[in-house]
Amino acid sequence: MAVTEPAPPAQPAAYEGILRRQSLRESAARTYARSLPIVPVRARGLTIEGADGRRYLDCLSGAGTLALGHNHPVVLEAIKKVLASGAPLHVLDLATPVKDAFTTELFATLPRPLADDARIQFCGPAGTDAVEAALKLVRTATGRTGLLAFTGAYHGMTAGALDASGGAADVRVARLPYPRDYRCPFGVGGERGAELAARWTENLLDDPMSGVPAPAGMILEPVQGEGGVIPAPDGWLRRMRELTAARSIPLIADEVQTGVGRTGAFWAVEHSGVVPDVMVLSKAIGGSLPLAVIVYRADLDVWRPGAHAGTFRGNQLAMAAGAATLAFVRENRLAERAATLGARMLRRLQGLAAAHRRVGDVRGRGLMIGVELVQPDIGVPQAGVPQAGVPQADPVLAAAVQRECLRRGLIVELGGRHSGVVRLLPPLTLTDEQAEAVLDRFADSLEAAVRAPHRRNDTGPSL
């Protein structure tokens, strides 16, 4: 299913009945199905074929899960091999050759200082389960309960993970400023903004009147994904490591979406040289199947037997698919490829931004890219200065661009504080030709959405 192949003619629209039944039967909490009303029936690599006969370039990739795209041959072969062997598919946390192979391959990719002295905990099948395990681990190990997290964070949908995320309503976590260039909370951006964010954190930790007791841990994303594709400055991340290490606060790196080559390094923390105490891993490590783990320093391993468990923490098919994916990314240097191709895509998108007032910012790392769309004539008060020149996000335009992309056979995601950021998460196997096709379709979609009349955004400023 190459980009240049014509799509087959559309078949009778049985898919309309499938979509109708989904809307009648499934929870109101469903999300992607609302903005992407398609019925995938076949997929390979970047391409999805819908039940309507149309083909789509998938730059959602299972929200970053599909490092190798859909149905990569090495993944399918790994799954078939386990099925053909007669191996048990459900074993709780018993040792198996499949698990041993996965753990060995995973440890071979980890930052060496961590891998040399690490333990692994297999969790429930989702990233949020691994976040819960990480929070529970550091609280058990330190005997403390508080937590440090960051504005704009997203760590999952279970209770503890939501507490640590930026949208928490009942806050039981100390919230710290995450440095941002485009919408700097201090109104300065750049290195100065990152330095002020670090100073804020240091002062909060050392001020006896801050109201924040010594925390059990600090959790952060090396690149905020749902927060709007915001890479952490390397220097700031090193400061967080220094501050936490000096105060015996475990540092938890949430690499659920950034891991396995996505940002141009195998793990995003490697850009800064930081070695966290705990790494939270899911999505791509399962090779498209559900798998989640935490990897952490051995001295934190103070759990009693059974202190953290889960019926489906021994997913043999996911471990086989995951080991094959990890090995393929490592052996074929796909992280380096993501860095090179991602930089090229960013340059072209930045050129597009220079010609479009409605593109406020283009940012990202590797093949984790965000384009923030704005209302250029509506500024946002910032750092006490009214109309500081940073325009409001435009979620209405972003949604229109997403719809226009879908009409042109391109699947993209939205994110950011007010869903004003169009996100691109293509597989690491993306070819040069496919990358150009993606950017061409995006550019055409932006032009169409800007030309078309759409309702004025009244959702308020992007924070």
Cα 375 from chain centroid (whole Å): 26
- Cα–Cα distance measured from residue 437 to residue 356, given in angstroms and rounded to the nearest whole number: 20
Residue 52, pLDDT > 60, answer yes
Q: How many CB atoms lie within 10 A of CB 183?
A: 23
Residue 45, pLDDT > 90, answer yes
Confidence of residue 456 (pLDDT cuts 50, 70, 90): very low
- Cα–Cα distance measured from residue 61 to residue 225, given in angstroms and rounded to the nearest whole number: 14
In the three-class reduction of DSSP (H, G, I as helix; E, B as strand; rest coil), residue 276 is classed as: coil
0.85 cut: is pTM over it? Answer: yes
Residue 461, pLDDT > 50, answer no
pLDDT in tens, 112-140: 999 999 999 999 899 999 999 999 999 99
- In 347-369, which positions are buried (b, 16+ CB within 10 angstroms) versus exposed (e)? ebbeebbeebebbbbbbbbbbbb
Confidence of residue 420 (pLDDT cuts 50, 70, 90): very high
Determine the length of the chain. Answer: 463
Q: Phi, psi (5° rounding) for residue 278? A: -135, 135
Q: Which two tokens stand for residue 445?
A: 């979609």
Average pLDDT over every residue of 231-237:
97
Q: Are 450 and 397 in contact (CB under 8 A)?
A: yes
Of 202, 197, 171, the residue nearest 184 (C-alpha) = 197
Domains and CATH numbers, the chain: 12-65+334-451 (3.90.1150.10), 75-332 (3.40.640.10)
Residue 167, pLDDT > 80, answer no
Between strands 217-220 and 251-254, the pairing is parallel
In the three-class reduction of DSSP (H, G, I as helix; E, B as strand; rest coil), residue 189 is classed as: coil
Residue 336 belongs to what H/E stretch? helix 334-355
Q: What is the secondary structure of 360-371 as a DSSP string?
A: EEEEEETTEEEE
* Confidence (pLDDT) at 429: 98
Q: Phi, psi (5° rounding) for residue 229? A: 60, 70
Average pLDDT over every residue of 219-225:
96
Query: Which is it for the CA torsion 207, 213, 216, 221, positive or negative?
Result: negative
Contacts of 158 (CB under 8 A, 6+ apart): 128, 129, 131, 132
* Confidence (pLDDT) at 385: 39
Of 413, 427, 333, 348, the residue nearest 31 (C-alpha) = 413
